Structure 1
Amino acid sequence: MAHIERGTYMPFYSSSGDSVTVEPFFMDKYPVTNADFLAFVKENPEWRKSNVKSIFAEEGYLKHWQGDLNLGPKAEKIRSSPVTNVSWFAARAYAKWKGKRLPTLDEWEYVASANQQKPLASRDKEFVQKILDWYSKPNPDTMPNVGQKKPNYHGVYDMHGLIWEWVQNFNTVFISGASRSDQGELKQFYCAAGSSAATDADKENYAAFLRYSLRGSLEADFSVGNLGFRLAKDIE
């Protein structure tokens, strides 16, 4: 795990309009892999494909695996790639099994704000453009292995460019038609026309908006093909 030092960042949406201070914590350097999750379901049969309760995971749960304990014909290729198609409930259960937890939204966003050189790179046009370029690409048939690119300032890999990730409190920001008028900065990005006309200064906000919008559309039992997770831990 990487030791994340105390820091402050400005979230995309803040009801108070204030910056947020993130206290020191540990975060996994890599997302959880298929091999990692396979070890989990071997010891916790209630989280296998055929056993998981529908209240905790929808039908697409681990659909890219061939069976309960079988990664399929691409097993060797995907063992070290991030596990996806896992619900928030399953991610939380895995975290508990490991004696850890999911990172909070603020912890994740703070670490994700770093490029390779500095902890806060949200105004770095090149950095933000790379994030937006990734968001515009279709998902690959097979996810690449974790840790293939260089780590960011904190020593954490794959915060961008590989998968989306669950956070502990993903449902604390709700985005809906009824709430648009109450969301301040969120409002300007709702229409496709508005987002396509975003200025360079808006790009960082738009990248963050996409993440908040995704989280606002999720439910805890969802299993999505490009959505995985990594773990965090308090400093004792």
Structure 2
Amino acid sequence: MTMQHAEHPEGLRDHIADVLTRSRARTGVLTDGIDEAELVAQHSRLMSPLVWDLAHIGNQEELWLVRDVGGREPVRADIDQLYDAFKHARANRPTLPLLDPTQARGYVATVREKVWDVLARTPFEGSSLTKGGFAFGMIAQHEQQHDETMLATHQLRTGAPVLSAAAAPTVAAPVTGEVVIAAGEFTMGTSTDPWALDNERPAHRVTVPGFAIDAAPVTNEQYLAFLDDGGYEREELWSERGWAHRKEAGLVAPQFWERDPAGRWWRRVFGVMTPLRPRQPVVHVCWFEAQAYANWAGKRLPTEAEWEKAARFDPNTGVSRRFPWGDREPDTDTANLGQVHLEPAEVGAYPAGVSATGVHQLVGDVWEWTASGFEPYPGFHAFPYREYSEVFFGGDYRVLRGGSFGTDQVACRGTFRNWDHPIRRQIFAGFRLARDLRKGEGE
């Protein structure tokens, strides 16, 4: 959201209506194209049945917008416990007395009709929840985050393909090489973005030593060289935990890669087997795999602060931008976002989205694993509830940055933080590498 929207209530109201409408249209694409049996099935114990996600989206919208912001009577108070993500693990959700697909669709439609009335009557001032339309932005982001989760469920399901999209852009020559980022302070996080979530706040100054970072994410071709060099058999490249997980999980290649009898690699993409595209960023690798590759390449994963400095800092002005290319919202020229494509674009496909320091595709395509654990910023304040971020701090999580082709622009900006366990591969995650500067380099 732009500050212009925040300063003009009717423009803000229209913007909120647009992002809520876009979110619901995408939810429809992900839930309307498959039959009821597939909606209620659990396609992986890592994921909820799609029908749970659908009703959960409506329940969160009811709790925050209909009841809290709007002060209205509950639509279905009897189902709050069923759709509380902290009360029921994903693996157990199919056993719950969930709303069936018809009931779930009816419920989310009823809630949305009430939300339109709440939106028309809400002044965007006073309460921290309504100032700048925060609660509406939070709910739009929540729905889009679950849409990306449902997209990951579609990738895990078997059966005939049900999703389609245009092929992601190609390039004549991929972006290669490194970019040197000079040592110094920059502003990390935000205190002004009205829809930023609590873990992105507050803005604070961070000093980062000089470092080099890859101009593009690691590609399939580059990762294949690691695989061909015995990367999955060489214990010395893996951490102790990583090697134990590699053996226990039987990891031999990124998830959804398959090799045919002729030795050619293929990748399953939403039910379609496609030849491995060498210039695309590698996707569906866990943090341990990324770390092993970095050791093989003689580099390391960037810290979260390094990633954000490369993405946001403009050395010419000393200002941290909202996005790598500036403060304007993403579009199809700057980033691969919003399920426009069902795969990453080849590296170098978005020259208009390059950062001020010359780093490509920091937003969209693939979430990028960083070396950092998920911790609060100095001065962190939980808002509007502890369970969004605070309960995850200090756990066994690694931060991911930048969003993927399945991330909507409302849930993606230079300050946005994602986190997951280091073993997770079903998410749309890849990585890029960084390294310390050698003596005299970057001076």
**TM-score calculated relative to the size of structure 2:** 0.40
Over the aligned positions, Cα root-mean-square deviation in angstroms equals 4.1
Residues 128 and 35 of structure 1, relative CA distance in 2, 3 Å threshold: same
Shift in Å at residue 173 of structure 1? 2.0
Aligned to 1:162: 365
Give yes or no for contact 1:123–1:204 (8 Å, CA) kept in 2.
no
Q: Deviations over 1:48-87 (max 9, x none)?
A: 9xxx9672486897233123964315335x2100001111
Task: Identify the residue that residue 258 of structure 2 maps to in structure 1.
Answer: 66
Match of 1:142 in 2: 343
* Equivalent position to 2:413, from 193, 204, 207: 207
Q: CA deviation at 1:230?
A: 0.3
SS of equivalent residue, structure 2 residue 435: strand
Provide the residue aligned with 1:97 in structure 2.
Answer: 296
Distance 1:152 1:162, change over 3 A: same
Structure 1: gaps of 5 or more residues = 175-181, 193-202
Q: In the aligned structure 2, how far is the partner of 1:82 from the partner of 1:116?
A: 27
The alpha-carbon deviation at position 14 of structure 1 amounts to 8.6
Identity over aligned pairs, percent: 25
Structure 1 counterpart of 2:327, one-letter code: F
**Equivalent-residue separation in structure 1 for 2:188 and 2:215 (angstroms):** 22
Task: State the distance in 2 between where 1:119 and 1:148 align.
Answer: 27
Mapped to 1, the partners of 2:430 and 2:302 lie a distance apart of 13
Local SS of the residue matching 1:10: strand
Map Cα deviations across residues 161-203 of structure 1 (whole Å, 9 max, x no partner). 322100011x2327xxxxxxx941x5248899xxxxxxxxxx9
Distance 1:117 1:162, change over 3 A: farther
Residue 280 of structure 2 aligns to which amino acid in structure 1? Answer: S
Q: CA deviation at 1:15?
A: 9.5
CA–CA separation in structure 2 for the residues paired with 1:191 and 1:139: 31
Higher relative contact order (CA 8 A, sep 6+): 1
Query: Where does the alignment leave 5 or more consecutive residues of structure 2 unmatched?
Result: 1-177, 190-198, 235-241, 267-272, 389-408, 439-443
Q: Deviations over 1:190-220 (max 9, x none)?
A: 899xxxxxxxxxx9998356x32x22xx011
2:248 equivalent to 1:86: no
Over 3 Å counting, the alpha-carbon distance change for 1:9 and 1:47 in structure 2 is farther
Q: Deviations over 1:9-67 (max 9, x none)?
A: 2322599974101111100011000111111011125269xxx9672486897233123
Counterparts of 2:315 and 2:278, CA distance in 1: 27
Partner of 1:198: none
Aligned length: 209
**Structure 2 vs 1, CA of residues 11 and 190 (structure 1 numbering), >3 Å: closer, same or farther?**
farther
Aligned with 2:327: secondary structure? Answer: helix
1:187 is matched with: 383
Tell whether 2:184 aligns with 1:7.
Answer: yes
What secondary structure does 1:130 align onto? coil
Preserved CA contact (<8 Å) 1:64 1:71: no
1:32 is aligned to 218
- Asked if structure 2 preserves the Cα contact closer than 8 Å seen for 1:34 and 1:83, the reply is yes
